[in-house]
Structure 1
Amino acid sequence: MAEQAETLRRAPLSRDRILRAAVALADETGIESLSMRNLAQDLGVVPMALYKHVANKDELLAAMIDTVVGEIDPPVPDIDWKRAVRGRILSARQMLRRHPWAPLAIESRNVPTPAILAYLDSIVGTFRAGGFSADLAHHVMHVMGSRILGFSQELFDASRDAGRSGVTPDPSAGFPPEIAAHFPHLAEIATAASHDDESVVGQGCDDQFEFEFALDLLLDGIERLQRQRWTSSRRPG
């Protein structure tokens, strides 16, 4: 491993080498610790050398996103839309598990990167090829939300506020008693099922079982609407 790292440090500097090093650094230490200075140090170059290949940190982050999104499995030909979409979404989730910093990086961007747009476009293309109207595909993409990219915000995830307080929540603690007393039904269901902590994609994201449970519910409901030739102009009153 040390020899491989040294070989990379001696390799000519290129955009690809910079991106691979940046992704590896973010994987290891988190996106918050990534800077042009420490990336340059990791590569064994002066910071100014990086700017010949990336204009600034924002461009670097966008390119890093596109690099990891490129790891999502490509469309599989000749299978039905439901299996195709499910497979690609779970592949996206596997990518996020390899790169836990990616959900926050993706969510924080005002404009999607080219690779994100290409991925979303291909998902819509799968729906359309599966017989979906443009109208239904539009609404389906809205309801799927960030789940299309392999993650979603967990309803009972206290870690959303943990980053602000610096305190890591105890997942087994449930609701604090004073809150549970006011909202007993929420407190009851919040602790009604066990969760696999090892399967969490990243801070603020649900676990694998919950993710697949919701994904399958959505896909089953979407399939029913598609078979009924649903349109927004025929919504129930």
Structure 2
Amino acid sequence: MGEAVAVSGRARLSKDRVLEAAVSLADELGIGELSMRRLAQELGVVPMALYKHVANKDELLDGMVDVVVKEIDPPADEPAWREVVRRRILSARSVLLRHQWARQVLETRTNKTPGVLAYMDSFIGIFLDRGFSADLTHHVMHAVGSRMWGFTQELFAEPADRAGEGAAEVDTALQLAMLQEMSRRYPNVLRIAMASSHDEGGVVGQGCDDQFEFEFALDLLLDGIERLHAEGWTSARG
């Protein structure tokens, strides 16, 4: 009977089902716990059944990226490029917050998947279709960088939480010593890092409002792009 169930499960298997299950599993357990064997168990099939749909772990990860990218809202059909870009980026950020593992996978993939290329093509089209030159758009894409995916490297990122009994007390003493050393050696860095109220849970820095910091920097960037576009900026020299 068990064999019949497994055969039935394999018969119903498809690439879409494999990828959707992998995304759900990564959401639940984290990308580090995802393996072909664990995924096969989740789907109720033998591991070899998966290889009919994905050749290896790398192809699985590529497919998972495309599943996630498809969740990003398409660009709105309106002439004002700035709001279209802003909403697209914030949609991408919302998607990556739902799939916490996706940033790491996006950063480590060496191949541009069809989903990634389609998103990039669409994103570039927002500028080109609204009167931006190819020259300015090229430099805009460099400036936007990973922000188009909804994330950016944070200046005041905290190290991963330490676990274990008494860790909080040890950390408090250690942090106090580090702050004292920082105040002596790098006073300006410390002053800026501590410029806002801090409590637990931030990614940008303990207590920093991640969303606020992301949107603040995004709006600064968009303001600069808007100014250059209005001035007819070109990278030509001389």
With normalisation by structure 2, the TM-score equals: 0.83
- TM-aligned CA distance change 1:152 to 1:76, over 3 Å: same
Match of 1:214 among 195, 212, 217: 217
Show structure 2 runs of 5+ residues with no match: 1-8
Larger Rg: 2
Q: What's 1:151 paired with?
A: 151
- TM-aligned CA distance change 1:145 to 1:136, over 3 Å: same
Contact 2:10-2:45 at 8 Å conserved across structures: no
Query: Aligned AA for 2:234?
Result: T
Q: What's 1:230 paired with?
A: 233
1:111-133 Cα distance to aligned partner (Å, 9 max, x none): 22221111111111111112111
Q: Does residue 61 of the first structure (1) align with residue 64 of the second (2)?
A: no
- TM-aligned CA distance change 1:34 to 1:191, over 3 Å: same
1:51-83 Cα distance to aligned partner (Å, 9 max, x none): 011100000000000001000001111231111
- TM-aligned CA distance change 1:32 to 1:196, over 3 Å: same
In the aligned structure 1, how far is the partner of 2:18 from the partner of 2:56?
Answer: 12
Query: Aligned AA for 1:130?
Result: R
Contact 1:200-1:208 at 8 Å conserved across structures: no
Superposition RMSD on alpha carbons, in Å? Answer: 2.8
Q: What's 1:115 paired with?
A: 115
In the aligned structure 1, how far is the partner of 2:200 from the partner of 2:77?
Answer: 34
Contact 1:140-1:222 at 8 Å conserved across structures: yes
In the aligned structure 2, how far is the partner of 1:44 from the partner of 1:227?
Answer: 58
With normalisation by structure 1, the TM-score equals: 0.84
How many residues end up aligned between the 2 structures?
219
Contact 2:158-2:203 at 8 Å conserved across structures: no
In the aligned structure 2, how far is the partner of 1:190 from the partner of 1:64?
Answer: 36
Contact 2:78-2:84 at 8 Å conserved across structures: no
Q: What's 2:195 paired with?
A: 192
Q: What's 1:48 paired with?
A: 48
Show structure 1 runs of 5+ residues with no match: 1-8
1:122-173 Cα distance to aligned partner (Å, 9 max, x none): 11111111211111111111011100110001001133xx49x889998xx6
Q: What's 1:102 paired with?
A: 102
In the aligned structure 2, how far is the partner of 1:66 from the partner of 1:196?
Answer: 35
Counterpart secondary structure, 1:232:
coil
Q: Percent identity?
A: 61
